[in-house]
Each structure stands twice: as C-alpha cells, then as structure tokens.
Amino acid sequence: MRIKLAIIAVLAVILALLFWPSTQKILFHTESEFGPIWVYEEDNQRRLSFNGVPAHLIQSQIHLDRPEHLVAPYNQMLMSSLFFTSNPKKILMIGLGGATTAKALNLLLPKTPIDIVEINPALPPIAAEYFDFREDARNKIFIEDGVGFMKNAAKNSYDLIILDAFDIDYIPPGFLTLS
C-alpha cells in the first residue's frame, strides 16, 4: 500500500509540474552565428539567456521595477573592482550581454568612457531594445574578438579591464594562454 501511495504522490507532482501555468513570457528568440539567444520575462525580471528558457545560466537580468539595480550577484561582484581602481579614466569591457554591467558603470562613473568588445553582432541590438543600452559618445561597442582587441590595444590605455566573455563551463580558448 505504501508503494502505491508513493507512486501516486510522485505522479501527482510530475503532473503538477507539467501542467503548472508558466510565468515566463518569451520576448525574443534568434539563432545567431554563435548560438541561440533568448530574452524572456519571469518573476518581474527580464533575462537574457544563451541556452533556452528557463535558463540554468542567465547571462543578464534586470528587475523591471528597478532596472538600474544589479540583480545578479555576479554583476554586483564585478563592481567590487572599483575598490582597487576607484576613479578609472577609461574602462575596457570584454563581453556585452544585456549590458547590465555597462549600465551600472555609467551610473557610478558618469564621465568615464567605456570601450565594449563583443564578438556576437546580434547582441548590441538586443541590449538596445530589451535592456535599454545603446552605443553613444561615451560607450563605444566594437564587434570583434576580445583577445585580438586586447593584443592591439595600446599598452596602459585602460585603467580597468572587465572580462565578462565566459560562463560557468566555458572560457574562450584565447583567454587561457600566456600570450
């Protein structure tokens, strides 16, 4: 009898999960040359993912009621770099995503120019439309490989370099060399 009750309970949970109404709203999906890109809303947040919805790894996210607030602990941690370089004259970011880090830097350092290198040309229009970030006189976006950009950058041309071109299980091979 206990086994039957356990089986019924497990089946009930599975059915509930399968038919539970989703709060996710897919806003955008495309297949770029670097893989799929999803933008969706869930739990009053807008999220960018490269691996589907729901994402086990969220690339960028904003709270819809407070878009200037950094939601992800990872992005909050990136801001700690300002403890070491509190007043950078020029910043280089490798990786754009939804531009949540760049937007936070713009708020904290309103006069500091930021060069952003993004290899995927599909991301800047997505960051503009869904995360309200656009290239301007202060924020320059370069569509190219971050390793090549850094090799060609003049020595000491940036006071702060933020590398955000990887995820939990992948680092671009060019960033794993000694050169």
Query: What are the extents of the domains in the chain?
Result: 25-166
Percent of the chain at pLDDT > 70 equals 83
Residue 174, exposed/middle/buried by CB under 10 A (0-12, 13-18, 19+)? middle
Q: Indicate the fold that domain 25-166 takes in CATH.
A: Rossmann fold (3.40.50)
Structural tokens at position 23: 């709060």
Q: What is the pLDDT of residue 144?
A: 96
CB 38 within 8 A of CB 53: yes
| pLDDT tens-digit readout, 65-82 | 999 999 999 899 999 999
Q: What is the pTM of this model?
A: 0.82
- Between 46 and 176, residue with greater pLDDT: 46
Torsional class of 156: left (φ above 0), alpha (ψ -120 to 50), beta (otherwise): left
Q: For the residues 157-169, what does the mean pLDDT come to?
A: 85
| pLDDT tens-digit readout, 85-124 | 989 999 999 999 999 999 999 999 999 999 999 999 999 9
